[in-house]
Amino acid sequence: MKKNIIAPSLLAAYFADLTSAITLCQKSKADWLHLDIMDGVFVPNISFGMPVIKSIKKQTDMFMDTHLMIVDPDRYTKTFADLGVHLLTVHYEACTHLHRSIQLIRENGMQAGVAINPHTPVSLLEPILSELDLVCLMSVNPGFGGQKFIINTYDKIVKLKAMIKDKNLNVRIEIDGGVTDENLEKLKQHGADTFVAGSHVFGAKNPIKTIEKLYTIANG
């Protein structure tokens, strides 16, 4: 049985002291670092970009799960690979030629993921599913942290899991947005195996204990 993954999102960390946030994650049960890259065009917000990722890479060898919420992501695929990103996720809604975008990620030596917005049906991923390592289901509207979890995500997990099983694939199902210790068990039961947590972790009084609790639920 493959291990379930906890991926704290640095979007919710204190940007003036990312070193402390990274050190915290390294000391915790966190498996991956989740990096949200926003351009203010595809989503109505701007986060951080290449110079920050370069700095993060100097401080840790943790797996970098990088989620691009940007238009025309193909322009930067090689750059992210050169920065040491392990898994690069692009948005279905942002890619005119999705298959080509996925091929480009693979050609540059990274694992490939596709994210879909809450309103996008999982059935649209059927033609590309066999090319993917991960599907990221947005359980909030992308662009800002701290939003309320969208309930119909559970149905999407079930449908996506069925598609993956039907094709006998090994594709991770990642949930991004509103993940807490109160809904993680239900998300896991529906078929998700990779969990992004931002505000719930970095807004907690004890983030390390919070990550440990999420990890225990995910792998219990």
Query: 111-165, pLDDT tens digit by residue?
Result: 999 999 999 999 999 999 999 999 999 998 876 555 678 999 999 999 999 999 9
**Count of residues in the chain:** 220
Is 36 among the residues known to form the active site?
yes
- Out of 31, 65, 133, 176, the active site residue is 176
In the chain, the percentage of residues whose pLDDT exceeds 90 is: 82
Burial class (CB within 10 angstroms; exposed 0-12, middle 13-18, buried 19+) of 25? buried
- Out of 36, 39, 133, 193, the active site residue is 36
CB 53 within 8 A of CB 64: yes
Q: Which CATH superfamily is domain 5-219 in?
A: Aldolase class I (3.20.20.70)
Burial class (CB within 10 angstroms; exposed 0-12, middle 13-18, buried 19+) of 220? exposed
Is 176 among the residues known to form the active site?
yes
How is the chain split into domains, by residue range?
Answer: 5-219
Which pLDDT value is given to residue 64? 97
In the chain, the percentage of residues whose pLDDT exceeds 70 is: 96
Task: For residues 99 and 174, give the distance between their C-alpha atoms in angstroms, rounded to a whole number.
Answer: 20
The pLDDT confidence band at residue 195, using thresholds 50, 70 and 90, is: very high
Which pLDDT value is given to residue 145? 59
